[in-house]
Structures are given as structure tokens and as C-alpha cells.
Amino acid sequence: MATAHIAAEPGDFAPAVLMPGDPRRAQRIAESLIDDARLVTDVRGMLGFTGTVDGRPLSVMGSGMGQPSCTIYATELFSTFGVERIIRVGTAGGIAPQVAVGDVVLATGAHTDSSMNQARIPGVNFSAVADFHLARAAWEASCSGRADQEGAVHVGTIISRDHFYFTPDQQTERLAAHGVLAVEMEAAALYGVAAEFGKQALAVLTVSDHLLDHSGDMSAADRETRFAGALRLALAAAHS
Ligand SMILES: O=P(O)(O)O[C@H]1O[C@H](CO)[C@@H](O)[C@H]1O
Ligand SMILES: O=c1cc[nH]c(=O)[nH]1
């Protein structure tokens, strides 16, 4: 049965879904990684594909940018299409000084300035955390079979913000002082939806730029293509 935003049938999606923000990245991942990828939905251009990798089912689908968009797709995938785990494969801006452009961040927890998780349990500051099993699988994959061009892998907290361009004065510095590794725009909401449905989620992020030093930022083209290291870890988590 199709949902409001996904024109597919139950069974069209694999239990594990890789989820980039960009639907074109979803298509690129499907073409490069999935043997027999077939398009299963394209409502609003939000492409979703399903096939197999090494004989195991896998889907990949875009989330769009921001927590409301990601929440819509994650909710429909978990509630209607039998999806058990979503691994976000996104880009992020570095915040911590030890995080460099090209590195990968495994986001075990996501602070946020969004109100979306606040509404979940009135009076409670919801803790948006990744699934431990998925995070451990990705980390273990990072310790073996690493290609030369893959950047360092960092594990810890990130912030999922609503604004891309507006940053309150001194916020980046304060986040860095609290050990926050990077910024992106979806993980906290994804972790909230996974908790709501008793499912699993993880964000595996490629650092595309650094908020405190923009000299080495990736180009727009690189942001769409330089994610092989993150993809390897995300696939290990998806099939763990
Ligand atoms: O590269 P993606 O997955 O889209 O992720 C990051 O890039 C977008 C902003 O440019 C936001 O969606 C942010 O979370
Ligand atoms: O949300 C994001 C994603 C990548 N880079 C940033 O600076 N912010």
C-alpha cells in the first residue's frame, strides 16, 4: 500500500535502508553498490531503490534536507514498508578541531536545536541516540579493510540543526568545547523516529567542510561523490 510520500508496496523495500539526504546520491549509491537495483519509488523526485549486495537485500533512498523531511520518510518506511534499520549516509560540517575534511563521523548521539523530539514526551529532553549494535558494527568495520584514501573515523556526538546558514554567536565554539564533532541536519530526528517505532538507526557522516576553517572545504561535486569510506561502514552496519 502506497503512503503519502512513497509509491511502493510492502516488500519493495529491504529491511535495511541506506539514506542520504540527496536523492541523486541515492541513485549513485544504488548504481555503484547494488547489483540489481530497481527503482521502487520516485514521488517528488525522492528516489528509492532496492536490490542486493553480495546476495543480501538492501535499499537506498533519499531523505531530503532537514528534520521534517527525514521524519516523513523514516516514519513511512518504518511504519508501512517493513524497514527495520536506517543508516543515514550524509555530509556534515566539522566542529571539533581533530575532525578534518574527508574524515568520517559515527554519530552515537545527536544534540539538536529542533523542537521535533521535544514534542515526543512532554517535559522530557529526549536523548537522540544511535543504535549501539549498528554503531559497533560500523566501528568494527572501520578497524579492518580500510582503503588508503579513507579518512580518519571519529565516534561521538554531533548536532542536528535546523538552520544551515544561521549560527548563533559562539555556538560552534561552545559545541566544540563540549566535544561535539560535527553538524548536520537530520540525525536527531531520525533517531527519534527509530525510538518511536522500536527500530534501529545510525548516521555515518562524511565531513565536507569545517566550520572553524573553511580553507579545505569540499566542492559541491565532491559532496556528492566523496563518500566511499562512509559507505563501506554504513554497509557493514546495514548487513550486521
Ligand atoms: O549530505 P546530506 O545527507 O544532505 O546532509 C547534509 O547536507 C545538507 C545541507 O547541505 C543537509 O541535509 C545536511 O544534513
Ligand atoms: O548541515 C551541514 C552539512 C554539511 N556541512 C555543514 O556545514 N552543515
Q: Which ligand is nearest to the CA of 230?
A: 1
Give, using CA atoms, the residue closest to atom 4 of ligand 2: 92
**Mutation pick for ligand 2 pocket among 184, 207, 212, 226 (CB with most ligand atoms within 8 Å):** 184
Would you call 60 helix, strand, or coil by DSSP? Answer: strand
Q: Where do the domains of the chain lie?
A: 16-238
Measure the CA–CA gap between 186 and 74, rounded to whole angstroms. 11
Statement: residue 148 has pLDDT above 80: no
Would you call 21 helix, strand, or coil by DSSP? Answer: coil
Model ipTM? 0.98
Distance (angstroms) between ligand 2 centre and the Cα of 163 equals 10
CATH topology of domain 16-238: Rossmann fold (3.40.50)
Distance (angstroms) between ligand 2 centre and the Cα of 17 equals 22
Ligand 2 pocket, CB under 6 A: 91-93, 164, 183-185, 208-209, 211
- Nine cell digits for residue 197: 517505532
Over residues 11-69, the pLDDT tens digits come to 999 999 999 999 999 999 999 999 999 999 999 999 999 999 999 999 999 999 999 99
Note the pTM of the prediction, 2 decimals. 0.97
Distance (angstroms) between ligand 2 centre and the Cα of 91 equals 6
Q: Which of 108, 78, 71 is nearest to 190 (CA)?
A: 71
So which residues are the catalytic ones? Answer: 209
Give, using CA atoms, the residue closest to atom 2 of ligand 2: 184
The residue assigned the cell 542520504 is: 20
Distance (angstroms) between ligand 1 centre and the Cα of 92 equals 7
- Assess contact for 177 and 191: CB atoms under 8 A: no
- Assess contact for 187 and 107: CB atoms under 8 A: yes
Statement: residue 1 has pLDDT above 80: no
Over residues 194-237, the pLDDT tens digits come to 999 999 999 999 999 999 999 999 998 887 778 889 999 999 99
Q: Which ligand is nearest to the CA of 165?
A: 2
- Whole-Å CA distances, 144 to 16, 37, 68, 108, 150: 22, 27, 36, 20, 12
- Determine how β-strand 200-210 pairs with β-strand 104-112: antiparallel
Give, using CA atoms, the residue closest to atom 6 of ligand 2: 93
In this prediction, residue 127 carries a pLDDT of 98
Contacting residues for 19 by C-beta, under 8 A, at least 6 apart = 26, 60, 61, 62, 63, 70, 73, 74, 86, 87, 88, 89, 190
Over residues 114-127, the pLDDT tens digits come to 999 999 999 999 99
